[in-house]
Amino acid sequence: MELDSLYQEVILDHYKNPQHKGLRSDFSAQVHHVNPSCGDEITLNLKVSGDQISVISWDGQGCSISQASVSMLSELLTGKTLSQSEVIVKSFSELMASKGTAAGDPEVLEDAVVFAGVSKFPGRVKCALLGWMAFKDAAIQSQGESK
Amino acid sequence: MSFSVAEIRKDFPIFERTIRDGKRLVYLDSGATSQKPWVVINAESDFYSKHNAAVHRGAHQLAEEATDAYEGARAIVAKFLGAKDSEIIFTKNATESINAVAYAMGNAEPGNRFALTASDSIVVTEMEHHANLIPWQQLAKRTGAQLKWFKVNQDSRLDLSNIDQVITADTKVVAITHQSNVLGTIIPLDAIVKRAHEVGAVVVLDACQSVPHMSVNVAELDIDFLAFSGHKAVGPTGVGVLWGKAELLEDLPPFLTGGSMVTAVTMESATWAAAPQRFEAGVPNMAQAVGLGAALNYLSNIGMDAIAEHERSLTGYALEKLLAIPGLRIVGPQENIQRGAALSFTLKDIHPHDVGQYVDSQGIAVRTGHHCAWPLTKIMNVPATTRASFYLYNDEHDVDDLVEALLGAQKYFGKF
Per the CB < 8 A criterion, the answer to whether A94 and A65 are in contact is no
- Residue B383: closest C-alpha in chain A: A39
Domain match, B108 and B138 both: yes
- List, for residues A64-103, the tens digit of each pLDDT value: 999 999 999 999 999 999 999 999 999 999 999 999 999 9
Is the pLDDT assigned to residue B152 strictly greater than 90? yes
pLDDT of residue B89: 98
Sheet holding B328-330, edge to edge: B328-330, B342-347, B385-389, B367-369
Is the pLDDT assigned to residue B289 strictly greater than 50? yes
Q: Looking at this predicted complex, what is its ipTM?
A: 0.88
Domain match, B270 and B374 both: no
Separation in Å, CA B8 to CA A129, B38, B363? 42, 11, 20
Note whether residue B36 is domain-resident.
no
Instruction: Look at the domain A2-146 and name its fold.
Output: Sufe protein. Chain: A (3.90.1010)
Kindly report the nearest CA distance between residue B201 and chain A, in angstroms: 33
Is the pLDDT assigned to residue B344 strictly greater than 90? yes
Task: Mark which of B278, B300, B322 sits at the end of a domain.
Answer: B300
pLDDT of residue A146: 56
Is the pLDDT assigned to residue B230 strictly greater than 90? yes
Is B374 within 8 Å of A62 when comparing Cβ atoms? no
Per the CB < 8 A criterion, the answer to whether B204 and B173 are in contact is yes
Is A40 within 8 Å of B353 when comparing Cβ atoms? yes
Note whether residue B35 is domain-resident.
no
The pLDDT confidence band at residue B57, using thresholds 50, 70 and 90, is: confident
Is A38 within 8 Å of B370 when comparing Cβ atoms? yes
Where are the alpha helices (H) located in chain A, listed in sequence order?
A: 2-6, 9-16, 64-77, 82-96, 106-109, 122-146
pLDDT of residue B416: 43
CATH of the domain at B314: 3.90.1150.10
Is the pLDDT assigned to residue B205 strictly greater than 60? yes
Best residue in A3, A14, A118, A125 for a mutation probing chain B (most B CBs within 10 Å): A3
The pLDDT confidence band at residue B383, using thresholds 50, 70 and 90, is: confident
What is the dihedral sign for C-alpha A53, A59, A64, A65? negative
Domain match, B188 and B49 both: yes
Sorted by where each begins, the domain ranges of chain A are 2-146
Domain match, B97 and B200 both: yes
pTM given for the model: 0.94
Q: Which domain holds residue B359?
A: 5-30+304-412
Does residue B372 carry a catalytic annotation?
yes
Task: Mark which of B255, B275, B300 sits at the end of a domain.
Answer: B300
What is the dihedral sign for C-alpha B247, B251, B254, B259? positive
- List, for residues B105-142, the tens digit of each pLDDT value: 999 999 999 999 999 999 999 999 999 999 999 999 99
Total number of domains in chain B: 2
Task: Mark which of B300, B317, B347 sits at the end of a domain.
Answer: B300
Domain match, B231 and B366 both: no
Cβ-Cβ pairs closer than 8 A, A with B, add up to 51
Domain match, B295 and B309 both: no
The pLDDT confidence band at residue B1, using thresholds 50, 70 and 90, is: low
Q: What is the DSSP string of B270-331?
A: EEEPPTTGGG--SS--HHHHHHHHHHHHHHHHH-HHHHHHHHHHHHHHHHHHHHTSTTEEES
CATH of the domain at B195: 3.40.640.10
Q: Assess A121–B contact: CB distance below 8 Å, yes or no.
A: yes
Domain match, B289 and B356 both: no
Domain match, B247 and B352 both: no
